[in-house]
Structure 1
C-alpha cells in the first residue's frame, strides 16, 4: 500500500502535458442519453479566466476507481496511464495510484487516479483514501452480470466515506471486446436502469483494445476542471462580497461615531 504524502505526489507531476493530453474543446459523453451531465462546452467564465489570467498554481482532482474484484479496474488505469494491457496482472492490494498530467485550455491540470482493491478484506483500507474525491468510476464486467448489480453498494460506501458534496459518477462497463452486439444490446437495457438509479454517466470500454478509455478520462478531466474553475470563481465572489460588506460597515461606523462626537471636546 503506498505511503501518500504531498512530496510523493509532487515527484509524480510532469513538467508539461504530452501532445495527446491537451484538451481545448469539451469532450463528449459516450452517449447523450446515458448521462446526467449535459455540459457540452467550457463556460464563458472558464474561458475568460484561463485566457486572461496566468494560472500557475497546482490544480489537481482526485478520482477513485471502485468495483468487484477482477472486473478490470487496474486494466483501465494501466491502459490510460501506461498505455499497456496485461491479462495476467496481479490483484491490487489495498490501493495504488497514478498522477496524469493534462493541459486544459492551456492550464496545467492533474488527475490523481486511485485504483482500489475489490477484495472484501481490503475494503476498509481502500475506503480510508476516498476522502476529497471529485469523481468516482464504478466498474462492472459485461461478462459478469452480478458485478453490475453490486455497483450501487460500492457507490453508496464510497459516497459515505468520501465526504464530497457532489462528485461526478461514472458507471463503466469493461471487456467490451468479449461481447457480441446482440448480447451488449440486451445488457445495456439493465445498465441504463442502474445508471439512472445511481445518477451516473455510462461508458463502455475495452482495456485490451483501448476503445473509449482515453475518451472516458478526458471527459472526467474536463468535467472536474470546469467544476474546479466554477468553485474558485464562486469563492472569490464571496470574498469580494464579504469584503464589501465589511468596508461598508466600517464606513457606517465612522459616520455614526463622527455624528456623535461633533461639538464635543476630546479629553486626553
Structure 2
C-alpha cells in the first residue's frame, strides 16, 4: 500500500521589506514497507526531521551523513530542505528522507507543513551553547503539537549533541544531556561532530532503525490488502445483459 502525499513547500528568500520568491515542489512518502500477499518486499521511504536552534549544525550533520563533506561557511537554512540516502537495515533497503528545518523563530510557523508524516524526530543542540540545550523542550513540544503523531508518548526521538570536537568550549555535559533524555522516556543520545564526522554514521543508523520500527508498527495497525484487484469483464457483462424494464 503506497500513499502519495503532495506537499507545498516554501523556499522563501526574505529581505527586510519583501518576499522575493517562492519555490514549490512535492515529495512522495511511501508507507509500504511490509511483505504483501504476493510476497514482494517493498522499499521503505522514511521521513526524518531535524530540529534545533539556528547554528547548532543541523545542515552540517545532514551534509556530512549524506554527502560526506563539511563546510566552515555558515548559511542559515531558509524554510526547509531535504536530502536522501539509502541504507540497508536487516537486509532491507531503506531510503531516509532527511529534512533540515530552519531554526530561526520567523520560520517556525511553517512547521505544520514540514512535520506531518515524520517517522522520527532528531533534536540537535550545540554542546558549546547552553541556550541551544535549554531550547530542546520547546522544540520537542512544538513538534508534537504540529505533527500530531498517533502515539505521542512513544514517538521516536533521538538527541544529538553536536560540536564535541570543541571539547575545551563545552557548556553542556554529557551527564546533563543524558539526564534530560531520561526525563523524556530514555530517548537515545549521541555526541557527534559534523566537522570531524565523529559518530555521525552510528547516530543516523540508530535514527533509521527507530524510524523503521515505528513505520512497521504503523503498518501493522492497518489490515493488509491484496496487491491487485481483478475485475472480470465477462461477469460484468452477464450481469448487465438482463432487461431493466
Quick check: TM above 0.5? yes
1:176 aligns to 2:164 (yes or no): yes
Give the Cα–Cα distance (whole angstroms) in 2 for the partners of residues 141 and 5 of structure 1.
31
Counting matched residue pairs gives 198
With the length of structure 1 as denominator, give the TM-score of the two structures: 0.66
Alignment correspondent of 1:189: 175
Residue 48 of structure 2 corresponds to which residue in structure 1? Answer: 63
**Correspondence for 2:199 among 212, 218, 221:** 212
Any idea what the Cα deviations from partners look like across 1:82-102, whole Å, max 9, x if unmatched?
101001031101101112212
Partner residue in 2 for 1:198: 184
Query: Equivalent residues in 2 for 1:40-55 (5 A)?
Result: 53-55=39-41
Secondary structure of 2:189 counterpart: strand
Question: Structure 1 residue 4: deviation in Å?
Answer: 3.4
Cα RMSD of the aligned pairs, angstroms, is 2.9
In the TM superposition, what is the alpha-carbon distance from 1:49 to its structure 2 partner? 5.8
Which structure carries more helix by proportion? 1
- The answer to whether the Cα contact below 8 Å between 1:138 and 1:154 also exists between their aligned partners in 2 is yes
SS in 2 for 1:100: strand
The residue correspondences of 1:55-94 to structure 2 (distance < 5 A) are 55-56=41-42, 58-94=43-79
Gaps of 5+ in 2: 1-10, 12-22, 226-245
> Quick one: distance in 2 between partners of 1:105 and 1:54?
16
Structure 1 match to 2:120: 135
Name the residue aligned to 2:25: 4
CA contact (8 A) 1:63 1:113 kept: yes
2:118 aligned with 1:97:
no
Deviation at 1:3, TM superposition (A): 2.7
Q: Distance in 2 between matches of 1:6 and 1:78?
A: 19
Query: What is the CA-CA distance between 1:180 and the residue it aligns to?
Result: 4.1
Contact between 2:119 and 2:215, CA under 8 Å: does it hold in 1? Answer: no
Taking the aligned partners of 1:220 and 1:195, their CA distance within structure 2 comes to 15
Q: Give the SS at the match of 1:3.
A: coil
Q: Normalization by structure 2: what TM-score?
A: 0.72
